[in-house]
Structure 1
Amino acid sequence: MADTDVMDGVREFGRPRAEGSAVIVTGGSRGLGRATTLRLAAQGCDLAVCGRDAASLKAVAEEVRALHGRVLRTERLDVLDESALAAFVRDSAAELGRVDGLVTVAGGVHGTDLRATEPSDWDRTCRLNVTHPAIALREAAGPLAETGGSAVLVSSVSGWKPAPPAQYAAAKAAQIHLAASLARELGPRGVRVNCVSPGSMLIEGKGWARLRDEDPEGYRRFEQEFPGGRLVDPRDVAEVIAFLLSGPARAVNGANIPVDGGQNAPSAYGY
């Protein structure tokens, strides 16, 4: 989150600016999205957050206001509704008055293994992970250019360490390339674009937490894929996202940053 400054006669983007900055987060009410929302609110950002679940949106909004006293605009929507997504970004920019950062956390997969997938599974998975961040950034690019802001697209360890299901891995790999390509396109306007690729995160109620509870031995074996002996904490990923949005990261552009704890196999089921 940054203003544009001039140093030694050079127009410089990405100067530190946290308090009073405004960030838009898709999928920002649960899991990594929630951790990111809370991390940014803690450093003084106002936020606009969308998600599919009204209850979790309400909960994170109440938490942000109670703990940090920040403005939090929420909207219930599915990012597969591209027109609603575009309107959310535009309306959020207007209501917040500026946009210093965009984080696209929403993602996912449709379908299972290759033999069981339909063309619609590939299409929906691509739209979730590639089309959705592209549209969000298309709408945010103008406001970000005004502030010298930046975007962070959330990919996955599966985007660069091959693992099934193939439609998810392919979409996440495409997302990494999308960030690099858009960094080159938007860089002349002062907008940085980067990716983070989280490893397998331990989030209560999600798949790896269920594995831990239902198959403790299988979970312990999976922990051995991490040199540190534990899965990734979403709060650690949120720290990297916050850094990439910040002024000190102004020379980081078009990068894919793995935040996977050195994870080997990208799932509990091997390569």
Structure 2
Amino acid sequence: MEEAARAGRTLLGKRLLVTGGSRGIGRGIVLAAARAGADVVTCYRTPGEAVASLEQELARTPGKHQVVRADAADPAEVNRLVAECEASLDGLDAVVNNAGSFLPRPYAELEPEEWDATLRGNLTAAHLVTRRTLPLLGAGSSIVNIGSTVAFLGMAGGVHYTAVKSALVGMTRSLARELGPQGIRVNTVSPGRIATEALDEQPAEAAERERRMFSSFTALGRLGTVDDIARTVLFLVSDHAAYITGQNIHVDGCV
């Protein structure tokens, strides 16, 4: 029984930082990594039930886990977050840049402050966290940026979001080349439409209509799950992906 349990703990001994880990895809990555044996630090911006329940789940999961309130787009708060990682984990083996959000807006109505907020929250945040964590990463470590398939498909009402996610792919490719000589790998995971709690929070009829519509776009005939993304991220930060870097991996069911 013990041998079987250990066999499933593919990240045993790994130390991860996952930004934006209290909800959705980020939460799925945090919990999957912890259950796979990693020690995990994550952050959130807004307190609430999601944070409290995540702390409870992590408390029941073996390992050193910490949930920190910090805005990944704020340099001072990123410094504090990474200092927490250094103090509690004494280094990092992987960074997952997941934090990010946007509000849909027709391009003709897109105000400069909305453009700037989307840039800061999705791209600048990844830059700040990556730059600050570099001294904690060594040979064999990994950075995973969470992108989106909209960067390649386009999205009406999401020009600002599409632009920053496209930039993230370029950032990944260049960082992979620059950090490769240090043995640090950098990849992007680009989810398609994923069923998260945000979908469940919609009125039942609207949620079902959205599920049917987006499922019909995929070759597999279903929405993606948080676990679909988490498993891909865990593979990329594991030793099984030791020769994979500079890639953008679409996890979208073939849209």
Q: Normalized against structure 1, the TM-score is what?
A: 0.85
**Secondary structure of the corresponding residue to residue 35 of structure 1:** helix
Residue 221 of structure 2 corresponds to which residue in structure 1? 229
Residue 37 of structure 1 and its aligned partner are, at CA, apart by: 0.6
Cα RMSD after superposing both structures: 1.9
Matches of 1:96 and 1:78, distance apart in 2: 20
Query: 2:78–2:132: 8 Å Cα contact kept in structure 1?
Result: no
Residue 220 of structure 1 corresponds to which residue in structure 2? 212
**Percent identity over the alignment?**
32
Query: Which structure 2 segments of 5+ residues have no match?
Result: 1-8
Q: How big is each residue's C-alpha offset from its partner over 1:166-211, in whole Å with a ceiling of 9 and x where there is no partner? A: 000001000111111111111111111100000011112x147627
Equivalent position to 2:38, from 33, 45, 48: 45
* 2:196 is aligned with 1:173: no
Q: Map of 1:1-271 to 2, 5 A cutoff?
A: 18-55=11-48, 56-66=50-60, 68-110=61-103, 112-145=105-138, 147-164=139-156, 165-204=158-197, 206-207=198-199, 210=202, 213-214=205-206, 216-217=208-209, 219-263=211-255
Relative to structure 2, which stretch is displaced further, 251-260 or 212-221? 212-221
How many equivalent residue pairs? Answer: 245
Distance 1:178 1:212, change over 3 A: farther
Distance 1:69 1:174, change over 3 A: same
Aligned AA (1:45) = A
Query: Which structure 1 segments of 5+ residues have no match?
Result: 1-15, 264-271
Q: Normalized against structure 2, the TM-score is what?
A: 0.90
**Secondary structure of the corresponding residue to residue 137 of structure 2:** helix
Distance 1:163 1:95, change over 3 A: same
Distance 1:219 1:148, change over 3 A: closer
Matches of 1:236 and 1:44, distance apart in 2: 18
Matches of 2:232 and 2:10, distance apart in 1: 16
Residue 218 of structure 1 and its aligned partner are, at CA, apart by: 5.1
Q: How big is each residue's C-alpha offset from its partner over 1:9-44, in whole Å with a ceiling of 9 and x where there is no partner? A: xxxxxxx97212110010011111111011100111
**Secondary structure of the corresponding residue to residue 121 of structure 2:** helix
Distance 1:224 1:69, change over 3 A: same
Query: 1:202–1:209: 8 Å Cα contact kept in structure 2?
Result: no
Q: How big is each residue's C-alpha offset from its partner over 1:134-163, in whole Å with a ceiling of 9 and x where there is no partner? A: 111111112112x52111000001112111
Matches of 1:212 and 1:186, distance apart in 2: 46
